[in-house]
Amino acid sequence: MYDYLKGKIVSKQQVSYRGSHLVIDVNSVGYLVNAGKRTIEKIQEDCEIKIYVSLIHKEDYMGLTGFITKEERDIFNILQSVSGIGVKLALLILDEFSIEELIDIMIREDFKELSRAKGVGTKVAQKIILELKDKLVNWANVIPSDLSDIKFDNINQDCVAEVQSVLISLGYSSGESKKAISEVLNYKKECTKAEDILKYSLEYLSKMS
């Protein structure tokens, strides 16, 4: 229903009875948007901003949750697809880890690292990794990766394919992901690891949106 809100930040609160949130004035309408502490720390009051939002609608709750980038919003939605993971826990996980760190954890199946997030025990971490890694693999299999136009040089082709699979799972097209990876490999010669290529590819795609 909503993709993003563009307006002025009226106020922000990290601690309140409503939880951490922003109030955004969009054409004289004030929207209360829940947000993680990592997001709130990056935002200044009285500034114009574009916030990507996710509408949560349940029997006993309806509200918006906001993020600075589309990628953070998409990861938040993916986290909530795991049974037992609600808004608060998903935000706590994103407060603890960046997108790149979180996806790298999923790929490596490092449940001990994931359990560092507040409220995430060992069993919950294992469950999240199991369900999310399966989804990433399934999405990657739905859309075949065409890597013929990408120059690999000394980088392993499987490494590049892994990055493209993750980008596709986040909603980017095969063409968009190839373009981003190509740009990174052309201008970031030092990138040889999947997590580094992914990080700079997401930065490139964020600038293009």
Q: In whole angstroms, give the CA distance from residue 209 to residue 205.
A: 6
Q: What pLDDT is attached to residue 192?
A: 77
- pTM equals 0.69
Q: What is the pLDDT of residue 147?
A: 55
How far CA 24 is from CA of 32, 33, 191, in Å, comes to: 7, 7, 38
23-37 tens-digit pLDDT: 999 999 999 999 998
Which residue in 112, 196, 131, 187 sits closest to 162, CA to CA?
196
- In this prediction, residue 57 has a pLDDT band, given cuts at 50, 70 and 90, of confident
Rounded to 5°, the CA angle 11-16-20 comes to 65
Q: What is the pLDDT of residue 190?
A: 77
Task: State CA 91 to chain mean position distance.
Answer: 11
Average pLDDT on 8-29 reads: 85
Contacts of 163 (CB under 8 A, 6+ apart): 177, 181, 194, 197, 198, 201
Q: pLDDT value at position 7?
A: 93
Instruction: Name the residue with tokens 């720390």.
Output: 41
Partners of 24 in beta bridges:
9, 31
List pLDDT tens digits, range 79-136.
988 888 989 999 999 999 987 788 778 878 899 999 999 989 999 999 999 888 766 5
Cβ pair 201, 167 in contact under 8 A: yes
